[in-house]
Every structure is written in C-alpha cells, then in structure tokens.
Amino acid sequence: MFIDEAEIEVRAGAGGNGCIAFRREKFVPNGGPSGGDGGRGGSVWLVARSSLNTLYQFRFKKLFKAERGGHGEGSNCHGANGEHLRVEVPVGSVIIDPETGDKLHDFVHDGEEWLVAKGGNGGWGNARFVTSTRQAPRFAKEGKEGEIRRFRVELKLLADVGLIGFPNAGKSTLISRLSAARPKIADYPFTTLVPNLGVATIDGLETIVVADIPGLIEGASSGHGLGIRFLKHVERCALLCHLVDLSEGDDPAHDVEIIERELAAFGPDLAKRPRFLVGSKLDAADEKRKKGLARFAKKRGLPLFLISAVAGEGIKELLAALVTEVRRLRAAEAQREKDNIDVSGEP
C-alpha cells in the first residue's frame, strides 16, 4: 500500500536518577558518599533509506520511544546510557512542524541522519555534591526527561523523470516498456491510483528513475481528481515527460495547456521544469491531431517524440533522449553545488 503522508510522535529517553550511597568497606573507616550518576537517555534519529518508497511503516505505529538511562549505583557506578533509536524513512521524506507548517528537514541522500529528539541528561549521584563543609550529602539529582516532539512526514518521490498527462494517456504502458515496473494497465481513466517507480537502463550501464504520476485533469491543483495529492511528487523530478494521447480528441495544444496551467498553479517552478512532449498511441493516431501537436511543439520549442508503447515504436529513441537529458541536468546540478561550495568557502 502506498502511503505518502503520516504523523508521528517521538520520545527520547529520560536520564537515569543519581544514586544516594555511602562506602561501607571494612578497611575504609571514614566511608563517604559513593552514589554514581545516572545514565543519559537515548536519543531518536530519523535515517533516510533508499530501499523504502512508502510511509507504510507509520500506518499502525505512530509512537517511537528511545530507551531511558539506567540509574546510578553505589561504589560510584555510572548508570548505563540508553540505546539510541533510529527510525527509517524513505529518501525524499520531508519533515514538517504540524503546528506551524514549517519545513524542518528534507532527506535527499541515502543514509542521511537527523537528530529529532535529544535524550535527557542523567542525574548526579551524591558523590558529586561533596564539599569541605558538606562531606556526607544525603541527596542526589533526578535525571532529566527526554524531548517529546510531533512531526508530519510527507514523502515526495525522488525520480529523474516524471510521466505526466491526462488519465489514460499511456503513462503506465510506457513505464512498463522503459523498466521492469508492472503497474495496473486498463482502458479506462484513473487506472493508476498511486505513483509507480521504475528504473530504466540503457546499454546495461546507465540508469534513470522514472515515476508514473496518476493522471491529471483540469482543476487538479485545486483538488479535482487525484492530482492535488500527487502533484507534489512531480516537484522532485528533474525532467518531465508530458504524454499526449494522439488517438482521440480535437486540439492537442489545448490538452497540453490545461496540464501546464495546473502545474503552474501548484508551483510556479513546475511549469518551468525541462519537459519533453511525447505523442502516445502512435499506432492509432489521428493525423490531424498528430500534425497539431507537432506545430505546437515547434512553436514552444519543446522536443517532440512520437511513440507507440504497445508496438514498441519510438521507445528506444525516447529512452536515449531521456538518459542524455538527465545526464546533462545531473552535471549542471553538480556544477551548481560546486559553485555554491566555492562561494561559501571564500574568506
């Protein structure tokens, strides 16, 4: 089951209490305080894992508690520190404050860790309170409580290419051709109810991640259809692959413009994202519609590819172009990051 939103509560462990004790060994006549300190409570960390692609683990378990620290003991024995708790989340998870709506952290790398709740300090034992005028203190300090925090976790899938378009435009069939993904395919709208990820490989060497986004309709950005729930997954895609059904409809340019308006309404940057136009269902294409899409692509300066996912026509050319463009975008992003590091490192 695909779940991309969840609310969780994390509780760090409390520190152990300090101990009140006195030495009573046979050959230590004066004795003295010997109460040890309590151990520190365990902290809670969130850890990003690329092997996860859903927040399903938070469907039933929403409370996560780290271990508390052990209490101090006599003979100046320190209590055991509580074990830290590491909660795994998918790469692409965004941590949000449920009260303010502020974004607190964004996981973009596998293995990335973030401390979300700090364990409480252990209390001091009575041996800590000895002074020249107070040589037998009969009190100790209690351990501090660990932090308790609540978060909203939102998953935005990380993919190189996002397949967008109207319902039944052929996105699921295309991703099944490009990768080993096997989404549900049928001849009715809204077959895809959740995003699907597939890994496409060219020449057995270079790979790109492709996301099949549920079909968008007019008004998706304001809640119509399934769009508003899944448009957020498009935000992570470096390149958009906009599928247009060539087999039916009147004006393909109008269809494309509807999707463009929804992208712009959801987030201004989405409409500016690099994009390929892909005319699908070429095996059943209407010539007038095909020529109309070609004119629109030329007018906008958008790369146009004509494919038939069922017959396999044009798939190799499209995949090669996607890999080349993703490679270029990756290199540009790496250069931007390098430039930012260089600038920030200047004296």
Please give the residue that has the higher pLDDT: either 296 or 29.
296
Instruction: Specify whether domain 161-341 bears CATH 3.40.50.300.
Output: yes
DSSP secondary structure of 282-324: GGG--HHHHHHHHHHHHHHT--EEE-BTTTTBTHHHHHHHHHH
Domains in the chain: boundaries: 1-155, 161-341
H-run or E-run covering 263: helix 252-266
Question: For 59-68, 216-225, 246-255, which range has the lowest pLDDT when averaged over its residues?
Answer: 216-225
- What local confidence, expressed as pLDDT, does residue 229 receive? 59
Instruction: State whether residue 89 is helix, strand or coil.
Output: strand
- The pair phi, psi for residue 332, each rounded to 5°, is -65, -40
Q: What is the DSSP letter of 73?
A: B
Instruction: State whether residue 210 is helix, strand or coil.
Output: strand
- The domains spanning 1-155 and 161-341 adopt the same CATH topology: no
pLDDT in tens, 176-213: 888 765 554 444 444 445 667 777 877 666 778 888 87
Residue 7 has pLDDT above 80, yes or no: yes
- Residue 217's pLDDT band, with cuts at 50, 70 and 90, is low
Question: For 74-83, 201-210, 295-304, which range has the lowest pLDDT when averaged over its residues?
Answer: 201-210
Domain 1-155, CATH homologous superfamily name and number: GTP1/OBG domain (2.70.210.12)
Report the predicted TM-score, pTM, of the whole model to 2 decimal places: 0.68
- Residue 341's pLDDT band, with cuts at 50, 70 and 90, is low
